Amino acid sequence: MGRLLKELMKDILTKEELDKLYSGLDIIGDIAIFKVPDELSKYKSVIGERIISRLKNVKSVWCQVGPVSGEYRIRELEHVAGDNRSVTIYKEHGCIFKVDITRVYFSPRLSAERLRIAKLVEEGETVFNMFAGVGTYSIIVAKKKRNVKVYSSEINPDAYSLMIENIRLNKVEGKVIPLFGDSSKHAEDLKGTVDRVIMPLPEKAKEFLPKALLTLKKGGWIHYYTHIPYGKGEDPIEKAKAEVLGLKVVFGRVVREVGPRLAQVVLDLRAD
């Protein structure tokens, strides 16, 4: 998919313009999302039309016109081609998720991470997903394991409603327990009862880490996602380790680059 946009536009754009075109394209169910630099924004509709004619399973195309922002981490989107519809069904690791791309955070790019975490969960665990969105991590964990409880906090009412629908769609009622509101409050209620915390909100990881720790049993795990700016020759994983209050880092990797010299890093932490 990396070069698709460039290939679709090569008969219209100059070489310089083609070089500036971003290659990323997110496919979420039957919706495609792309970004263009400002100077190429006049081509948004043409790009959209061409995506629709090339990718037969895409029915609606949106352009991301602003960054992921705000407490709910929503991207600013503009409809450019196909059905003017923002709701779709996305499939991942044997689960289905109803998503409204204009009202909730959603990224297909974390798919490998979600599966990695689900595989690490052991039977009998109590898991706390502090930032559940439409239920992605929580539902995949619950689908892959027979005997788990995944407490799942979400503060965006639209994401919370979709999580409830997704719990039903995937038949994981009783295993995924949706909690509406601020996860730092839910952390107080879960004090000392949790085997594993998932923290997929990189922008606020540091701030919420003490609350995550509060919920953990001895020997519990935290999957800590953070954004790390790094300079030439610097290792983002080493830099991330400085944030984790001296907790033992058992594993770390760069999940993806989220900007120029800005890495999303995950650390698996153990509280002894």
Ligand X SMILES: C[S@@+](CC[C@H](N)C(=O)[O-])C[C@H]1O[C@@H](n2cnc3c(N)ncnc32)[C@H](O)[C@@H]1O
Nearest CA-CA partner of 48 in 89, 2, 59, 19: 59
Q: Is 180 helix (H, G, I), strand (E, B) or coil?
A: strand
Shortest gap between Cβ of 233 and ligand X (angstroms)? 29
Number of residues interacting with ligand X: please give it, by CB under 6 A: 20
Beta-carbon count within 10 A of 41 CB? 14
- What is the C-alpha separation between 116 and 66, in angstroms, rounded? 30
Closest residue to ligand X: CB criterion: 133
- The bridge status of strand 126-129 relative to strand 149-154 is parallel
Q: Which stretch of DSSP H or E encloses residue 80?
A: strand 74-82
Q: How far is the CB of 154 from ligand X (least distance, A)?
A: 5
146 contact partners, CB below 8 Å, separation of at least 6: 123
50/138 with CB nearer ligand X: 138
Burial class of residue 101 in the structure, from the number of CB atoms within 10 Å of its CB (0-12 exposed, 13-18 middle, 19+ buried): buried
Q: Name the residue nearer to ligand X (CB basis): 182 or 243.
A: 182
CB atoms within 10 A of CB 226: 23
Of the pair 235, 243, the CB lying nearest ligand X is at 243
159 binds ligand X (CB under 6 A): yes
> Which residues, 128 to 157, sit near ligand X by CB under 6 A?
131-133, 136-137, 153-156
Q: How far is the CB of 252 from ligand X (least distance, A)?
A: 19
What is the contact mask toward ligand X in residues 172 to 211, using x (rule: CB under 6 A)? ----------xx----------------xx----------
Q: How far is the CB of 56 from ligand X (least distance, A)?
A: 26
At its nearest, how many Å lie between ligand X and the CB of residue 126? 18
Task: Mark residues 25-64: x for contact with ligand X by CB under 6 A, - for none.
Answer: ----------------------------------------
